Structure 1
Amino acid sequence: MSRVVVIGSGLGGLAAAARLAAGGHQVTVLEQAPQVGGKLGWYARDGHGFDTGPSLVTLPQVLRDLFTATGAPLESELDLLRLDPATGYRFADGTRLQLPGDPAGIPAALDDALGAGAGTQWTAFLDRAERMWQATEQPFLRSPLAGAATLARLARSTGDVATIAPWRSLRGLGSGYLQHPHLRTLLDRYATYSGSDPRRAPAALATVPYVEQAFGSWYVRGGLRRVAEAVARRAADRGAELRTSAPVARVLTEGGRARGVQLAGGERIAADVVVSNADAEALYAGLLPAGAPVRAARAQLARTTPSFSGFVLLLALQGRTPGLAHHTVLFPQDYDAEFDALFGRGGPPRPVADPTVYVSAPDDPATRPDDDSESWFVLVNAPRHEPGRGVDWDTPGLADSYADRVLAVLAERGLDVRSRVRWRVVRTPADLARDTRSVGGSIYGTSSNGARAAFLRPANASPLPGLYLVGGSAHPGGGLPLVLLSAEIVTGLVGPAR
C-alpha cells in the first residue's frame, strides 16, 4: 500500500483520491478551504443558492466511468437531468436562438432563427468536428503527455493530421464552413471554454461544441456542487481521509523525489506519492524547494499565455423571468474588442467595456426561497488580477462600478433586472485568486492560445519523481470532463498499490 497525499479538493483531486483509494492506496486529501469542491463552489443566503463555478456537465460518460470504477454507479449518488434547451443566445442585432437538447432538432432551429442554410452550414462543421474528436480522444485526451511520443500518436495517419489541422485557428477553421456571421460568433464562444482567443486557439477546439451537442448538456438537481460532494463521499467510502482547513505550505523532497508535504501550521505528512490539484503555476512557483528539478517546467509555463478570469455577480431577484433558458448568452456588437481587452491588444489588459454576458438561472427549487424568486449567476470574461502589470481588481470602487456596468449591459440587451435585485454579491478575479490560489484568478491555468499551447500545458507526471498534477491547469485541460480525465490519467501513472 502506497501513502498518497492529494493537495486540494477540487474535482480533479477528489476524483484522483477516489480512484487511488479504490485501488488500495492510503490516501489523504488536504484542502485549504473549510469545504471541499475547489471551483465547484456554492453560495447560499436568505434561501437563494448559487453554483459559483461550472453550471453544466458535458460528456457525462466520463463521470459515469469514475463512479463505475470506484463502486456503485453514478445514478446511485446524483440526479442528472438533460437540459432542453440548455442555452438561449441573443445577438447584438436582436436575433434570438435557442438550441434544442436533441441534436436532430438543431439544424431546423438554426434555419428558423438565422435563415435557410444555417443548419446545413453548422452540420457540415460538426461533421468535421466529430472526425477531430475521433482522432484526438484516445491518443491525446485520455493519454499522458509524452513529448514526441504524443505527437506520434496524433500523427498516426496523414488523414488524421489533415483532419485536426494543427496549423489552423478555431476562427480560421470556422470561416471555411460558416458563412452566417452569427454562426461564427457562436463558434467563437467555445474558445472561451478554455479561457482563450478564437483567433489564436487551435482548430481542435471545434470538438467542444461537438461534445456539448452530441452528448448533451446536463444539470445536477441541487446544483453542481453535488458532484463534488458525491465524489468526496465516494473517496471517503473507499477509505480516503479528507481534511479541510489544511493549507499546504510546501512539498517535501528526499532522495530526489517527493516525500510528503508540510502544512502551513508546520505539520509534516509523509507520503510515497504527492498528487497536486493546486494551480500548476502556484505549485511550481511556490510549493517546491529551490533545488527541485522543475526549472524546465517553469520555463515552459513562462512560454504560455495565461487564461483569462471571470467577473461574477450573484443576483437574488424578486419575481420570475418568462422563457429563460438554463443559460442565456448575450453577445456584444464587437466580439474581437472583448478579446483584445482580455489579452491586452491595443493597450494593457482591461475590463471589457461591452462584454458578452452569461446568465445561469437553473429552474431548481434548491436555488430559490420560493416560486416568486430567481437566483442568477452572471459572468463576464475578465482579465486576470495583476496589480502593477494589468488590472488591479482590488482598486477601491472598481468592483462595484463594473458591477453596475454589467447590469446596465443586461438592461441594454433586454434583461433589465435592476428594480428586482434584492441583493447582490460581487466576485472579482482577485477574489477567485484568493479563494482558490489560482494565480491571478486564471480559471483554466494556461489558455489554448497558439498551435503548441496544448503541448506546453503542464504534464500530469512532473519532473520531480513522485509528484503528479491533476485539475484544469494540467493536461488535458479545463472543464469538468477533462479534469476527470486528468485524474484517470494520474491513477494509471501511479499504478496499483504495492
Structure 2
Amino acid sequence: MNVLVIGAGLSGLSAALHLRGQGHQVTVLERAAVPGGRSGRIERDGFTFDSGPTVFTMVDLLDQAFRAVGRRADDYLTMQLLDPAYRACFDDGSTLHVRHGVEAMRAEIARECGSVDAAAYEEFVVWLRKLYLAELPHFIDVNFDRPTDLLRNPVAAARLVALGGFERLGPAIERRFSDPRLHRIFSFQAMYAGLAPAQALALYAVITYMDSVEGVWFPEGGMRAVPDAMAQAAMDAGVAFHYGATVDRITCAQGRATGVLLTGGERLNADAVVCTLDLPVAYEELLPEVPTPRVAARGRYSPSCVVWHLGVKGAPPPEAAHHNIHFGQQWHDAFDDLLRRGRPMADPSRFVAVPSLHDRDAAPEGCTSLYVLEPTPNLEVGRLDWPSEGPRLRERMLTDLQRWGYPTDIVTEELVTPQDWLAQGMAAGTPFALAHTFRQTGPFRAKNVDKRVKGLVFAGSSTTPGVGIPMVLISGKLAARRVAEMTR
C-alpha cells in the first residue's frame, strides 16, 4: 500500500517506521523544515532549546520502532540514564532525590523519611510492576473498537481490579507512605494525565513506574536528537520525507480517504492516510465536511502550562539536577486553582530542567540553558488575558529562580503561553491534549479510526493510548496495525 503520514512528530515517525516494516510505501509530510513536531527546537543567540517534552522514559518502546525496520535505536542514538531522575525540593527546605534502582531509592527514603516508609517502598515497587504488566499488553498496547473489548482478556481485567487499579491514585499512595513528601513525588505524574492525584485512577501509577522505577533517560544531542534519529532510520529504510509541506485537506471520495491536497494545490494520492494532528484540529482544518466526534469536540482537556526557555550567563547551583521539581506548600488547593477556578496556582509547584548539564550544544561556554514549566489552566477552563498574564507569571518565576539559586543573567529567552500552544495547533491551548478521565480512556478515548472515512487513521496524544512520549510511540504502532487490518 501507498501510505501518507501527516506530521513528523514522534507518533508520525513511529507510524512511519512500523508501516515501512510491514512493507508499505511510506511518505511523511511535515510542514516544518525538520522532524520533531511537538518535540521541536528553538535556536537563538548561541543557545539551542528543546521546545517539547524533556522527560524520556521506556527506551525499549523507542527501540521497537527502530527494530520494525531491522535496526536498533543505539545504532542512531546514545541515551544516558539520569540518576537522580529528579531532585525534589520542598517548601520546608528539604530535598529528596528520585534515584534509579530499588536499593538506591530505598536508601534515599530511609535516610530522609525513615525505615517504615523505606520498607513500604519495596512493596510499592512490586505493586507498580504488577500494574504495569497487567496494563501494558492488554489495555495500552492495543486497539479498541468498542467498550466490550475491555473484556477480551477477563483474567487481565480481573487482575487490574484486584490490584486496585480503579481506586483513586492519591489515596492509594497516601495509604502506602506516611511522609507527605513521598505522596507528592509518587503522584505528581497524574498531571501528565491531566488530572489531580485525588481524581486520577490508580492505574495511572504506571506513569510513576515508568520514570521512578524504569528510569529517566536523556539523549546525547538533546531531546531533538530522538526525532532526528527516527527520521534518519526511516529514510535509510526507504521512507520518503517532504519537509515544508503543509496539508490543506485530506481528500475523500465515496467515504474513503484518497490522499491529501497540499497548500499550493499539489495533490498526493494514497491508499491510506495517517494523520497526527491534534484530533479536533484535524477534523476542523483537514476534514471540514466530517463532524468532529463528540469526545474530541466536547471532551475535557488537560491543564496547560507556561514554559519559559532561558539562556543565561553563569553556572547552575552545584546541587541542581537535570530535572528539578520545586513543590509549593499547597498541594490539593493548587489543583483546584487549575481545574476548577481556572486561574494560575496561588502557590505554584514548578519543574525546572537544566539541559546544558548533559547537552553541550544547549548553551555556549560559561552559560546555562533553563527550561521552566508552570502548570496553568487551559483556555477552556481559564479566561485569562495571556498578553498580560504571561509577563506577570514570568516575573514571579524569575523571583523564585533567584531565590532557588539559579543564574538569571538573561542572554536570550522565550515565553510560551496557552495562547501560543493554541496557535501551534493544540486544542484548548494545551500540549497535554484530552485528559485521561475514565470516560476518555481506552475504548472511550477518541478512536484512531473513523468508520465514516475508511482508509484514514489517527495517531498522537489525542487518540489511543494517550499523552506522553511512551504513549505516542505506541500510538504510531497502533496506527500501523490499523493500516495492516485494511489489507486483510
Q: Same fold (TM over 0.5)?
A: yes
Q: Partner of 2:343 in structure 1? A: 350
| 1:404 paired residue among 388, 392, 395 | 395
Does the aligned pair in 2 maintain the 1:23–1:496 contact within 8 Å? no
Q: Secondary structure at the match of 1:168?
A: coil
Q: Distance in 1 between matches of 2:445 and 2:233?
A: 29
| 1:391 paired residue among 383, 396, 417 | 383
Distance 1:301 1:440, change over 3 A: closer
Distance 1:262 1:367, change over 3 A: same
Bigger mean CA deviation after superposition, 161-170 or 111-120: 161-170
Q: Distance in 1 between matches of 2:473 and 2:157?
A: 30
Distance 1:351 1:11, change over 3 A: same
Q: Secondary structure at the match of 1:70?
A: coil
Distance 1:87 1:101, change over 3 A: same
Bigger mean CA deviation after superposition, 437-446 or 120-129: 120-129
Q: Partner of 1:471 in structure 2? A: 460
Distance 1:159 1:440, change over 3 A: closer
2:318 matched to 1:322?
yes
Q: Secondary structure at the match of 1:28?
A: strand
How far apart are 1:71 and its partner, in Å?
2.7
| 2:330 paired residue among 331, 334, 337 | 334
Q: Secondary structure at the match of 2:187?
A: helix
- Which AA in structure 1 matches 2:400? V
The TM-score, its normalising length taken from structure 1, stands at 0.91
Distance 1:365 1:32, change over 3 A: same
Q: Percent identity?
A: 31
Q: Partner of 1:27 in structure 2? A: 26
| 1:461 paired residue among 449, 452, 462 | 449
Q: Which runs of 5+ in 1 are unaligned?
A: none
How far apart are 1:308 and its partner, in Å?
1.6
Q: Distance in 2 between matches of 1:460 and 1:473?
A: 9
Distance 1:76 1:458, change over 3 A: same
Distance 1:433 1:164, change over 3 A: farther
Cα deviation code 1:253-300 (max 9, x no counterpart): 11211111222333222111110111012123332142x3x56xx212
Distance 1:72 1:317, change over 3 A: same
Q: Distance in 1 between matches of 2:428 and 2:323?
A: 26
2:369 matched to 1:379?
no
- Which AA in structure 2 matches 1:382? T
Distance 1:234 1:173, change over 3 A: same
Q: Distance in 2 between matches of 1:135 and 1:181?
A: 28
1:46-445 correspondence runs (5 A) = 46-153=45-152, 155-156=154-155, 159-290=158-289, 292=290, 298-302=293-297, 304-320=299-315, 321-343=317-339, 345=340, 347=341, 349-362=342-355, 363=357, 364-370=359-365, 372-386=366-380, 390-392=382-384, 394-395=386-387, 397-412=388-403, 414-418=404-408, 420-435=409-424, 437-445=425-433
CA RMSD of aligned residues (A): 2.1
Q: Distance in 2 between matches of 1:238 and 1:56?
A: 28
Does the aligned pair in 1 maintain the 2:169–2:203 contact within 8 Å? yes
Misfit runs of 4+, over 4 Å:
none
Distance 1:200 1:32, change over 3 A: same
The TM-score, its normalising length taken from structure 2, stands at 0.93
Does the aligned pair in 2 maintain the 1:329–1:358 contact within 8 Å? yes
Q: Distance in 2 between matches of 1:449 and 1:148?
A: 15
Q: Distance in 1 between matches of 2:304 and 2:442?
A: 19
Bigger mean CA deviation after superposition, 210-219 or 268-277: 210-219
Cα deviation code 1:284-328 (max 9, x no counterpart): 3332142x3x56xx2123453101222111111221121211100
Kindly tell me the number of residue pairs found equivalent between the two proteins. Answer: 483
- Which AA in structure 1 matches 2:336? D
Q: Distance in 2 between matches of 1:213 and 1:190?
A: 10
Bigger mean CA deviation after superposition, 443-452 or 374-383: 443-452
Q: Distance in 1 between matches of 2:22 and 2:441?
A: 33
Q: Distance in 2 between matches of 1:476 and 1:42?
A: 25
Distance 1:424 1:157, change over 3 A: closer
Q: Distance in 1 between matches of 2:414 and 2:136?
A: 39
Cα deviation code 1:170-217 (max 9, x no counterpart): 113222212221111112311012232212211101111112233221
Q: Distance in 1 between matches of 2:7 and 2:471?
A: 17
How far apart are 1:63 and its partner, in Å?
0.9
How far apart are 1:394 and its partner, in Å?
4.2
Q: Partner of 1:3 in structure 2? A: 2
Does the aligned pair in 1 maintain the 2:434–2:440 contact within 8 Å? no
Distance 1:468 1:164, change over 3 A: farther
Does the aligned pair in 2 maintain the 1:139–1:150 contact within 8 Å? no
Cα deviation code 1:149-182 (max 9, x no counterpart): 4310353357414235354221132222122211
Does the aligned pair in 1 maintain the 2:125–2:213 contact within 8 Å? no
How far apart are 1:32 and its partner, in Å?
2.3
Q: Secondary structure at the match of 1:234?
A: helix
- Which AA in structure 1 matches 2:391? D
Q: Secondary structure at the match of 2:155?
A: coil
- Which AA in structure 1 matches 2:383? V
Bigger mean CA deviation after superposition, 301-310 or 245-254: 301-310
Does the aligned pair in 2 maintain the 1:135–1:164 contact within 8 Å? no
